[in-house]
Structure 1
Amino acid sequence: MPTDQYHEPPSELGEETRTFARMCASLSEEAEAIGWYEQRIAVEKDETAKAIMLDSLGEEYKHFSMELEFLLRAKPQWRQIAQGILFRSGDIVRHGEDAEESAG
């Protein structure tokens, strides 16, 4: 079954690279689902339906976070840069520039 997640011939890519590509695609899909739920929740009038959507949104947050952690473990430079940006107060762009610079 062909997919558009590869930009190089899959047969030329190692298993680790194919797994990484699948996890990147999954992360993107989770982010898209989070956006959809946010929009649906913003306009939903029925409180029961909204509660169900909020519960589903929590699942998407969990999946996104697990996939991100998998990817960060696979790429130490990415993890190093992320650690310089994530969960810090202050200027996000400045943190990003500093983290990228310090990662070499």
Structure 2
Amino acid sequence: MGFDQYHEPAHELPEQTRTFARMIASLGEEAEAINWYEQRISVEKDESAKAIMQNAQKEEFKHFGMDLEFLLRQKPLWRETLQAILFKEGSITELGEKGEKAAE
């Protein structure tokens, strides 16, 4: 895998920005792995194999959450926006609008 997550010359970016880029890439990779397992689980007929895949998917989901939490600690505005959306009942789009306004 290359290092194409940078849109600016890596040597010009501060270490904090490079770490941020790595964590964003990791978050995407975890989401992709969760998706792959979801697809595999949905078609797997062998219950033992399916159970192993479900266990592996749980690990990927945990990693996704850890990556997201790291990023939210770096970007308080993101946390403020997401607190208005996540774990709430109601229209997701309406909650999103409220979260965006709260973070302004």
| Class of the TM-score when normalised by the shorter of the 2 chains | over 0.9
Query: Which structure 1 segments of 5+ residues have no match?
Result: none
The structural deviation recorded for 1:102 is 1.4
Q: Secondary structure of 2:88's partner? A: coil
**How far apart are the structure 2 equivalents of 1:17 and 1:35?**
27
Query: Which structure 2 segments of 5+ residues have no match?
Result: none
Matches within 5 A, 1:69-88: 69-88=69-88
**How far apart are the structure 2 equivalents of 1:94 and 1:49?**
40
Q: Secondary structure of 2:4's partner? A: coil
User: Partner residue of 2:5?
Assistant: 5
Post-superposition CA distance 1:40-82 (Å, at most 9, x none): 0000000000000000000001000000000000000001001
Q: Is it true that 1:59 corresponds to 2:59 in the alignment?
A: yes
**How far apart are the structure 1 equivalents of 2:32 and 2:2?**
21
TM-score, normalised relative to structure 1: 0.97
**How far apart are the structure 2 equivalents of 1:52 and 1:22?**
28
**How far apart are the structure 2 equivalents of 1:43 and 1:63?**
24
Matches within 5 A, 1:1-104: 2-104=2-104
**How far apart are the structure 2 equivalents of 1:63 and 1:80?**
21
> What amino acid is aligned across from residue 22 of structure 1 in structure 2?
R
Post-superposition CA distance 1:19-42 (Å, at most 9, x none): 000000000000000000000000
The structural deviation recorded for 1:2 is 4.4
Q: Quick one: percent identity of the two aligned structures? A: 65
Q: Secondary structure of 1:34's partner? A: helix
Q: Which runs of 4+ in 1 moved over 2 A?
A: none
